[in-house]
Chain A
């Protein structure tokens, strides 16, 4: 069974640009959530999607957005990039609820210059 796949793995952007990250969950998993990992901050919850609907949202500015498609694949978008957006963005999937055991992808490492 294939795991959670995130693309791209690494990317470099400049301030003011926008970026789109993609996540393919494990087959059969309908819940996809996104986390931001920065040094010293741990993993901070961005949002969760279930059946194409955003079910929960973390405390991030509106520049961070996401969506989920009918095949459960998800994308997140960050507009007007700032230096502080440099982080590892992790996607996780689970069968139904965004609680309990999540299956994480390897992450997309974003560097903003």
Chain B
């Protein structure tokens, strides 16, 4: 049973435009949500997080939105840069982190 799902395996965006990565979850007990970025041959690195009591958190070009009623979160990257090309994982926390399958983001110059 996949409690955290990223339904888009890949996303392609032009440099300077907005990238929107989506994530759905099923367990309403999750209390914290995070996004990680992973480059090939490296471990995932933490990007941004949001508590379940909030609906938005911003950090520079990155904004995470949480819609608890829809059990949906999204990551917005504005403006997108070629260096943002990586695999993005959403994760949800209760006692341990549960990760989605990842979305490959490609930002074209």
B101 to chain A, nearest CB (A): 4
Residue of B nearest to A35 (CB): B99
Contacting residue for B96 out of A4, A99, A103, CB 8 A:
A99
Q: A4-B43, A100-B34, A104-B43 are in contact. Are A45 and B93 (CB under 8 A)?
A: no
A45→B34 CA distance, assembly (Å): 15
Say whether B45 contacts A104, CB under 8 Å: yes
- With A40-B101, A98-B97, A99-B97 known as contacts, the answer to whether A106 contacts B43 (CB < 8 A) is yes
Least Cβ–Cβ distance between A84 and chain B, in angstroms:
17
Least CB distance, B81 to chain A, in whole angstroms: 22
Chain A residue numbers with a CB within 8 Å of B46 are 101-103
B80 an interface residue at 8 Å Cβ cutoff? no
The answer to whether A42 touches B32, judged by C-beta atoms less than 8 angstroms apart, is no
* Contact A100 B101, CB 8 Å, known A43-B44, A90-B44, A106-B41: no
Q: What are 20 of the A-B contact pairs (CB < 8 Å)? A: A33-B96, A35-B99, A40-B101, A42-B89, A43-B89, A45-B99, A48-B96, A56-B96, A90-B44, A98-B95, A98-B96, A99-B31, A100-B49, A101-B49, A102-B44, A104-B36, A104-B45, A105-B43, A106-B42, A107-B43
